[in-house]
A and B are shown apart, each in its own frame.
Chain A
């Protein structure tokens, strides 16, 4: 029986696992092989940066996916190259002791802030409180002193499921509340741990954050569209589609576009990096992409098994697909045209062609 308890708690990492992790991160960053020794050097010798990891409105899924990867090397590598001073899920300290650790780091040391979870802002932010303070207050206290902020997961970046309409707690992402500190967004539900590791290693090696897109996501991980790297793309171009889950075409591995795959509008490295070190990602196991790395995906990507969101007509209670509503309006227009023509003809029949302008 393997010593699983010791494996989880022991931060020691063997050299093979360490090099493997660095190589994976270098591949994710799109760096040349020649850069790997530099990454290794930075990860091994640089002073371990202090990291404060704050949890707000979230499910801890991002932490879970990081720590429970089938292969523990990645999580251990991350925990080995950073000094995790405050992390509610894994820290040993509790209560006042934990608070003291947090304040000692915030006030006395440079640190990187990682935020997991959305921040509720409605009613003074009372919907998420830790140690008697609201998430808004904690963020306002910690964020301005951070040297950089990494928002991990779709909740911390864009609000996530809490921010889905009607957003009862007024949840927002970190970038909506904090300015003046560089912010990197690593969205996903959960994001790939490699994207997080790559960002950290980039920061350690080059002393700056990686290049970002317009939504502050690192380009190395979110610069390309899922659809353009999908293994089922050939089926899309050649017009072979799954009509419904479980049908013959599904068994043949055809394109999931017609059952609502959002790969064509989602940016992530999922098809290239894949998950859990076992080379899987949703589309490879037969489920369409739900677009979890995009802003407001709970509102714009649902229904998950349709191509487009439903149309809501304000104050009428009418919710329908765009095409259904379009057809209705077009039908009404055609009917109105018919009535207009009939009225004109009727009027002419009654009045006769008396008003001939000729």
Chain B
């Protein structure tokens, strides 16, 4: 029988980031679809019914939660624990490059070997970094649309996007990345949990992973 030992992997702040990020994205996508294509038509005049205003209100609250989550992740990329720092997932060292290769081989069923490490594997880490950058794009384009008359956002918005409409277009297209990412992310978490019994899924609640005793 194998014996496992418990390793602390994710700080409370990272777990907070994860759930703020995940839940805000769910709300943002649903309300975002409504804002782009309102699927209701109230047709009632003079009533206290504000579906579009309410959806926008929820969208903006969720947007502030997402922005806060991204700030937390930015802090953790620099000041987090060993697994959380950005250096841990960049394919710049021999060890990390090897992990990237082994992960790709394992995911394509070519090899059964699992390169054991406590934090993210490099493939996952890079996907999370890309999602982090996509979230930054959503935040900048979102605030540009929300505060078009503020000198700060108008300056940056025009510089980065040229016009509100182009910001809106990028904002909408980038949203699809989050949905595609979610499908792959949830699947691979379940897949890894089945393949390697290290408590991957529960680690995002408890912060602990289980490793073979050396």
Residues of chain A having any CB pair with chain B under 8 Å? 213-215, 223-225, 236-241, 243, 249, 257-258, 262, 264-267, 291, 294-297, 300-301, 307-309, 311, 322-323, 325-326, 329-330, 333-334, 337, 340-341, 343-344, 347, 355, 357-358
Please determine whether A239 and B37 come into contact, CB atoms closer than 8 angstroms. Answer: no
Please determine whether B164 and A294 come into contact, CB atoms closer than 8 angstroms. Answer: yes
For residue B64, which residues in chain A have a CB less than 8 angstroms away from its CB?
A: none
User: A354 CA to B40 CA in the complex, in Å?
Assistant: 56
For residue A249, which residues in chain B have a CB less than 8 angstroms away from its CB?
A: 41, 43
Please determine whether B49 and A239 come into contact, CB atoms closer than 8 angstroms. Answer: yes
User: A333 CA to B173 CA in the complex, in Å?
Assistant: 16
For residue A267, which residues in chain B have a CB less than 8 angstroms away from its CB?
A: 148, 164
Looking at chain B's contact residues, the main secondary structure is: helix
Q: Given A249-B43, A330-B180, A265 and B164 touching (CB < 8 A)?
A: yes
User: A337 CA to B109 CA in the complex, in Å?
Assistant: 13
Instruction: Tell me how far the C-beta of A266 lies from the nearest C-beta in chain B, rounded to whole angstroms.
Output: 7
A sample of 20 more A-B contacts (CB under 8 A), given A237-B53, A258-B37, is: A213-B154, A214-B154, A214-B159, A225-B164, A238-B45, A239-B40, A239-B51, A240-B45, A249-B43, A266-B165, A267-B164, A297-B163, A309-B169, A311-B173, A322-B172, A325-B176, A333-B184, A341-B191, A343-B109, A344-B109
For residue A215, which residues in chain B have a CB less than 8 angstroms away from its CB?
A: 158
Cβ of B2 within 8 Å of any chain A Cβ, yes or no, is yes
Please determine whether B164 and A308 come into contact, CB atoms closer than 8 angstroms. Answer: no
Residues of chain B having any CB pair with chain A under 8 Å? 1-2, 36-38, 40-45, 47, 49-53, 107, 109, 112, 145, 148-149, 154-155, 158-159, 162-166, 168-169, 172-173, 175-176, 179-180, 183-184, 187, 191
User: A214 CA to B107 CA in the complex, in Å?
Assistant: 49
Q: Which of B45, B107, B145, B176 has the most CB of A within 10 A?
A: B176
Q: Given A215-B158, A257-B38, A330 and B164 touching (CB < 8 A)?
A: no
For residue A296, which residues in chain B have a CB less than 8 angstroms away from its CB?
A: 162-163, 166
Please determine whether B183 and A330 come into contact, CB atoms closer than 8 angstroms. Answer: yes
Instruction: Tell me how far the C-beta of B82 lies from the nearest C-beta in chain A, rounded to whole angstroms.
Output: 25
For residue B162, which residues in chain A have a CB less than 8 angstroms away from its CB?
A: 295-296
Q: Which chain B residue lies CB-closest to A255?
A: B52
Please determine whether B179 and A240 come into contact, CB atoms closer than 8 angstroms. Answer: no
Please determine whether A225 and B148 come into contact, CB atoms closer than 8 angstroms. Answer: yes
User: A240 CA to B52 CA in the complex, in Å?
Assistant: 9
Please determine whether A294 and B43 come into contact, CB atoms closer than 8 angstroms. Answer: no
User: A262 CA to B166 CA in the complex, in Å?
Assistant: 12
Question: 6 tightest CB-CB pairs across the interface, nearest first?
Answer: A326-B176, A265-B164, A239-B51, A214-B158, A237-B53, A239-B42
For residue A340, which residues in chain B have a CB less than 8 angstroms away from its CB?
A: 107, 187, 191
Please determine whether B183 and A291 come into contact, CB atoms closer than 8 angstroms. Answer: no
Q: Given A239-B52, A347-B109, A358-B2, A322 and B173 touching (CB < 8 A)?
A: yes
User: A343 CA to B158 CA in the complex, in Å?
Assistant: 48
Pairs A–B under 8 Å by Cβ, sample size 16:
A224-B149, A237-B50, A237-B53, A238-B42, A238-B51, A239-B41, A258-B38, A262-B165, A294-B163, A297-B163, A300-B163, A300-B166, A322-B176, A325-B176, A333-B184, A340-B107
For residue A300, which residues in chain B have a CB less than 8 angstroms away from its CB?
A: 163, 165-166, 169
Please determine whether A337 and B176 come into contact, CB atoms closer than 8 angstroms. Answer: no
For residue A258, which residues in chain B have a CB less than 8 angstroms away from its CB?
A: 37-38
Please determine whether B41 and A238 come into contact, CB atoms closer than 8 angstroms. Answer: no
